[in-house]
Amino acid sequence: MSTFHTADPGFDWRAGELRWPVTSDVRPGLSGVVASGTRVSWLDPGSGTLAYRGHPVQLLAEAHPFEEVAYLLVSGELARDGAPAFGRFRADLRGSAVLPDAVLALLREQDPTTHPTRLLRAGISAVGCHEEGSGEELSGERHWRELRILGQVAALVAHIARIRRGGPELRPVAGASLAELVLAGLLAGAPRPEQVELLDLLWVLYADHGMDAPTFTSMIVASCRADPYYNVVAGLSALRGERQGGATERVLELLLSLDDADHARRRVRELLRANERLPGFGHRVYRRPDPRAALLRRRASELCARLGCEPLFEIAHAIEQEAGPPLSRRGVFININFYAAVLFHVLGADGPLIPCLYAVARTAGMVARVREALEHGSRIYRPRSEYAGP
């Protein structure tokens, strides 16, 4: 951290004065900098608390499907089945999960080996071109209000999953929940209720996580008043990188490359000796176990025992135990992605598809925060750089 003085003075027109010199701290990665106020979620890295609109995320995940939590994030109200406002929201959300034929054709025209996150990025841009009014109404407030884009992202992921697995074209069932829709794309037949419940649980845990890179990126784009399609493409692009949501793909790659728990322990020692980063470990804000990880570990253990995939869980657990002591000394613990990768795999996803599944959930948090910022007339983001040249 260093202090600098800039030759570009801050001008406060309300005070009618130039404030000189402008002084600021430079924090790599904006670490610890508060960039906005919010009522959407509360994240306390010290105690490991994560709550959406005041509700602890673990309780929400066990008791509420994703669509109810999306409603909570956006409206601030806990959804009650049968409440007219929530009923309308859910019907609109599900109704928006339909893609124009031209977008479906665009997805199908691509090489089927294209990375699914690339298809998702192209698909969101293409949907934006088809949205009536998105050309003129740049702030896109109608779209934010209707939350159409969340349904559209889910529909894109469902179709991308089906294209990736091959087989007949996906014919979405009208009125299906977003989790049912995406699982229908992923699986050969209709999803079972416990699969729907598991995807909803994963999505609830992934729905919002403060000002992480994807959400912050989308807030920057929103502060310029670009429409939601530019915004979500930008936010989800940040999610793709291997230090962020892309880590889920690396976790699964690692797990599937190992024969058993002994092999896992040997591989961890090799990776740490080589000073490599283990995917699914470490976090920008937590210096303690990620509060979402314990719940996922328990789910993964139960599910693998029930479905006969214990070896996969044992490999994951051996990695966690072997890496735990050396990494915890540096404040590095497993993050949400570690056991989530196991669970997404159990649901039928291959590694490259997992960031897309994550993307559906995070779109809800991004939409909630952008709406909140637009309602409060957020100022355009504009930090400065510390000049170190000649």
Residues that bind ligand ACO (CB under 6 A): 243-245, 247, 277-284, 327, 330, 332, 335-337
Choice between 148 and 283, CB closer to ligand ACO: 283
Q: How far is the CB of 98 from ligand ACO (least distance, A)?
A: 30
Q: How far is the CB of 221 from ligand ACO (least distance, A)?
A: 19
Task: Kindly report each contact of residues 239-242 with a partner whose C-beta sits within 8 Å and lies 24 or more positions away, as own/partner.
Answer: 239/213, 239/214, 239/355, 239/358, 239/359, 239/362, 240/117, 240/121, 240/355, 241/213, 242/279
CA–CA distance, 156 with 359 (Å, rounded to integer): 11
Q: In whole angstroms, what separates CA 99 from the centre of its chain? A: 21
Choice between 121 and 283, CB closer to ligand ACO: 283
Residue closest to ligand ACO when measured from CB atoms: 282
- Phi first, then psi, for residue 19 (nearest 5°) are -100, 110
CB 248 within 8 A of CB 341: yes
Choice between 159 and 369, CB closer to ligand ACO: 369
Q: How far is the CB of 336 from ligand ACO (least distance, A)?
A: 5
Secondary element (H or E) of residue 117: helix 116-130
All residues at 6 or more sequence positions from 198 whose CB lies less than 8 Å from its CB, including other chains: 299, 303, 343, 346, 347
Q: How far is the CB of 287 from ligand ACO (least distance, A)?
A: 9
Q: How far is the CB of 183 from ligand ACO (least distance, A)?
A: 22
Choice between 88 and 330, CB closer to ligand ACO: 330
Choice between 43 and 374, CB closer to ligand ACO: 43
Q: How far is the CB of 185 from ligand ACO (least distance, A)?
A: 23
CA–CA distance, 203 with 65 (Å, rounded to integer): 9
Choice between 149 and 296, CB closer to ligand ACO: 296
Q: In whole angstroms, what separates CA 266 from the centre of its chain? A: 31
